[in-house]
Amino acid sequence: MTEVVTAAQMRGIESAAIEAGAVTGAALMERAGAGVVAAILRQWPEAQSATILCGPGNNGGDGYVIARLLAERWWDVRVLGMGDAEAMPPDARANRAAWQGEVAPLTRANLEAATDTDIVVDAIFGTGLTRAPAGEVLSVLKALGDCAAPLVAVDAPSGLCLDRGIPLAREGSVPKCDLTVTFEVPKIGHFIADGPACCGALEVVDLGLSHWRGKLGADTTRLIDAVPMVPPTEGTPHILPNFRKKTGHKYDNGHALVVSGGPSKTGAARLAARAALRIGAGLVTVASPPTALAENAMQLTAIMTRRCGGAAGLSEILEDARFTALCLGPSLGVGEQTRAMVRAALGPRFVVLDADALTSFEEDPSELFEAIAAVGEPERVILTPHGGEFGRLFPDENAALDAGDISKLDAVREAAQRSGAVVLLKGADTVIASPDGRSSIHAAHCARSVPWLATAGAGDVLAGLIAGLAARSDDLHRAAADATWLHVEAARAFGPGLIAEDLPEMVPRVLRDMGV
């Protein structure tokens, strides 16, 4: 998995390399600019003219490099520059001085006059954005949304906070780009909240700063799946998750238990159970209330059924230590009976709590967190809320997230600390955090965008995939990350028209295509 960093971490990586004498800032700026030019030429081979918008810092410096390199290829290049050249940082100033053409002021009027351009390059702000854009530059950022020409962002669409993935100024102030070319390592803001929609396609230029790799610390956020490097590497660069089953007995691949709701509320459990079996749990059993046993049994074959009378019945079933993972919550009903079942479920096995198992603790989330703490074994429980359920369990973190004070990543990290559980907050951007400090982000955007995955029952399937992978795993966070990736891959493999029932059926094809 690729690491993703904050703007501050990126500045640290860059300055450590320069201070160590491994590279000069000027050389980095040249590599950065050349990487953007290569990406533009690859994406728009017919283009011949560009308008480059350069800011007052090193992001602008990259812009002047891009202008020079495109002009050397006989492109018709126009530069709009911001700020006083003398006030720019040294490498940016040098590249501005090396630009032989004119630099017109970066104004909305000058941008709107540039109608005859094939490409617009946004090199206004990158990792150094410290405050909300205002005045003329804000006006320019808003006008960029109306540009007819393709828009390429250097490092970031200007105005986007690279830690939170939200605009630093008011809504509408971050241009929606067609391509964002970032450097060395992608940043968190490229993948969460509004980041993916503003960035468009994302490419990463390797600046050759290898010294930092593997040294960022265990709490560095991981990206589930990788974005293409520039130039593209051989083969598909995505992760090959831990999908291979163990050879041997079916019990060597674990036994997952999925708890069903009552009569006419049983479909969610069967969806989760089928997903768990397809992803490779050795055995899967649906624990069903006696009144729904016939309904479940009539619709299950490879999946077994067990009569389960409430919390006491569940405790009895779980005396069998061969159950290695449990999924509880989908269509279970909200109330004390579900709370009691959650208390019965927590123990020496992986437990996936979803849907009603979460909402049942809305009145007093601390009751759930105390029950999790009482298990005593770390990272045994995962909570898989959508946005609404997250707000019910973690109102403080949710309020700070809504206010834009913290990122989705930080909100989920705090939720993991508060609850003592792995927390997976669903969305087109899914964030997973563990109490041990690990965190992962998955962004289903651009080529991996699957709007048709927003369909009834898809969440039940995700819970089942996690339970199925956890049943034969010793790492719940990893199981959740792999399941999240597979869930999107299955939806991509099916395409539009998908319903939740299709998802487990696509798992074999995805596994086959991966060479599992």
Ligand X SMILES: NC(=O)C1=CN([C@@H]2O[C@H](COP(=O)(O)OP(=O)(O)OC[C@H]3O[C@@H](n4cnc5c(N)ncnc54)[C@H](O)[C@@H]3O)[C@@H](O)[C@H]2O)[C@H](O)CC1
Q: Where along the sequence are the contacts to ligand X (CB under 6 A)?
A: 10, 14, 28-29, 32, 55-62, 89, 125-133, 137, 154-155, 183-184, 207
The annotation status of 242 as a binding-site residue, yes or no, is: no
- Rg from Cα positions in the chain: 26
Q: Which residue is nearest to K ion (CB)?
A: 158
Stretch that binds K ion, among 158-166, 222-230, 407-415, 440-448 (CB under 5 A): 158-166
* 127 near K ion, rule: CB under 5 A: no
The annotation status of 296 as a binding-site residue, yes or no, is: no
- Between 92 and 303, whose beta carbon lies closer to ligand X? 92
The annotation status of 266 as a binding-site residue, yes or no, is: no
Half-sphere exposure of 106 (CA within 13 A, CB side): 30
Interatomic CA distance for residues 337 and 423, integer angstroms? 23
The annotation status of 402 as a binding-site residue, yes or no, is: no
- Between 12 and 309, whose beta carbon lies closer to ligand X? 12
Going from the C-alpha of 252 to that of each of 178, 283, 380, 471, 488, the distances in angstroms are 47, 10, 19, 10, 27
* 308 near K ion, rule: CB under 5 A: no
Q: What is the DSSP string of 326-388?
A: EEE-TT--SSHHHHHHHHHH-SSSEEEE-THHHHTTSS-HHHHHHHHHHH-STT-EEE---HH
* 154 near K ion, rule: CB under 5 A: yes
The annotation status of 132 as a binding-site residue, yes or no, is: yes
- Between 122 and 163, whose beta carbon lies closer to K ion? 122
Nearest distance from C-beta of residue 440 to ligand X, angstroms: 23
Residue 158 binds which of K ion, ligand X, none (CB < 5-8 A, kind-dependent): K ion
Interatomic CA distance for residues 318 and 327, integer angstroms? 12
Residue 130 binds which of K ion, ligand X, none (CB < 5-8 A, kind-dependent): ligand X
Nearest distance from C-beta of residue 181 to ligand X, angstroms: 9
Residue 345 binds which of ligand X, K ion, none (CB < 5-8 A, kind-dependent): none
Q: Residue 330's closest CA among 151, 415, 456?
A: 456
Which of 2, 6, 51, 158 touches K ion by CB under 5 A?
158
* 273 near K ion, rule: CB under 5 A: no
Cis peptide before 330 (omega within 30 of 0): no
The annotation status of 6 as a binding-site residue, yes or no, is: no
Nearest distance from C-beta of residue 125 to K ion, angstroms: 5
Q: What b-and-e string marks burial along 366-383, b requiring 16 or more CB atoms within 10 Å of the CB?
A: eebbebbeebeeebbbbb
Q: What is the DSSP string of 75-115?
A: -EEEEEE-S-GGGS-HHHHHHHHH--S-EEE--HHHHHH--
Residue 122 binds which of K ion, ligand X, none (CB < 5-8 A, kind-dependent): K ion
The annotation status of 333 as a binding-site residue, yes or no, is: no
Q: Name residue 500's amino acid.
A: A
Q: Which residues are at the interface with K ion (CB under 5 A)?
A: 122, 153-154, 158
Give the residue numbers of the binding site for K(+). 59, 122, 158
